[in-house]
Structure 1
């Protein structure tokens, strides 16, 4: 029985990641096709019958919603990359920033998306160790910047503080925003990508050999490292 259980678990470890990946991709595909189908259904009501029938046939093509979305994003990117497109986008931003309620949501989402996805963005600068949620308990966090000028003078002893993001596991998109003294952080000799993989896997997936070798040369960034960040 122990041998049979071992083989079953080995088979599960092979198929489970693949099955979940396929399920997520099919869900996204279905969602995009549904949105695309809804748009076609709306357009059909205002176009001539012959054209409407042709559009209905398009709904039967699987994956066309994904292709349409990709073409739309590509076309928008080309438009936004030239001078005329940039001028129109500025007018669009200015308009949305004048609408109550909408301006708060739009500006917040735009700032976050620009930080995360823009080539000029620098959302996670480096991975560090920090004592959290209590003394003697350490977790991986990411340096995101410095406290706002209005906040920095109120942080106590006058020591330099940094802003960090402490992600939860296995879902790093939720977490905690903290402002802590820079001296309390320990630098990690691993990339941000390697640290994210380590967090998502709940510590099961260790950093790659390159990161490990670099960490060995610096005491692996352990809490006992006498040289804090900076």
Structure 2
């Protein structure tokens, strides 16, 4: 009975968590319907809510924003909007910081979160998985000329972690995708990535500058 019960848990727990996460995402995105005038909302037109319309509306808003932002008029409007936000004391700091991070993360030419690494943390001889985020900048680069910037996520919640700057020679590039590394971290090592047949990558002199 114990074995059957555990087997049943292994079947239902991943499904239940998946449904819960999807329901939370849909519920959050459906809040976008608050932007629609009250008389045009499904509850007013049809007498009941239609789940998922907020997701469609969110996708449309993002696509339209991207299309507008790619033309000359849209770019001018965007610069005017950013200039307006930069005049607001507290908003300026938050917006500029978030924008720099998002531009770096979503840049097709950037290297942030493109490579999984093996680093020694929190002490020598203790290894963990980290992600390459770039290289030290500003005055830090003058003091640490041959270092890389890495993000060490916590387990099982990878959204929190630690930012470290380590020597290239002490960082090993792993032959696994970022998705595989995240699964390994979230599962606390229970779900290892598939083993590759080719030899392990050498230490980080192999990382791109």
| Common topology (TM > 0.5) | yes
Q: 1:184 and 2:170 equivalent?
A: yes
Query: What is the Cα deviation at residue 90 of structure 1?
Result: 1.8
TM-score norm. by structure 1 comes to 0.79
CA shift digits 1:40-74 (9 cap, x unpaired): 4xx44xxxxxx579872366222222221121112
Q: Given the superposition, is the C-alpha separation of residues 160 and 122 from structure 1 closer, same or farther in structure 2, using an over 3 Å criterion?
A: closer
Q: 1:134 and 2:118 equivalent?
A: no
Query: What is the Cα deviation at residue 116 of structure 1?
Result: 2.1
| Secondary structure, aligned partner of 1:128 | strand
Q: 1:33 and 2:17 equivalent?
A: no
**How far apart, in 2, do the equivalents of 1:141 and 1:26 lie?**
30
| Secondary structure, aligned partner of 1:109 | helix
1:47 maps to what in 2? Answer: none
**How far apart, in 2, do the equivalents of 1:53 and 1:153 lie?**
57
Q: Given the superposition, is the C-alpha separation of residues 229 and 54 from structure 1 closer, same or farther in structure 2, using an over 3 Å criterion?
A: closer
Aligned pairs for 1:37-76 (under 5 A) are 38-40=34-36, 43-44=37-38, 51=39, 56-57=44-45, 60-76=49-65
Aligned pairs for 1:1-230 (under 5 A) are 4-36=1-33, 38-40=34-36, 43-44=37-38, 51=39, 56-57=44-45, 60-155=49-144, 160-209=146-195, 212-214=196-198, 217-218=199-200, 228-230=203-205
| Secondary structure, aligned partner of 1:213 | coil
| Secondary structure, aligned partner of 2:204 | coil
Conserved 8 A contact 2:32-2:57 = no
TM-score norm. by structure 2 comes to 0.86
Over 6 Å off, 4+ runs: 52-55
**How far apart, in 2, do the equivalents of 1:53 and 1:205 lie?**
44
Unaligned runs of 5+ in 1: 45-50, 222-226
Cα RMSD, aligned residues only = 2.3
Aligned residues: 204
**How far apart, in 1, do the equivalents of 2:42 and 2:113 lie?**
47
Unaligned runs of 5+ in 2: none
| Secondary structure, aligned partner of 1:139 | strand
**How far apart, in 2, do the equivalents of 1:121 and 1:64 lie?**
34
Q: Given the superposition, is the C-alpha separation of residues 206 and 88 from structure 1 closer, same or farther in structure 2, using an over 3 Å criterion?
A: same
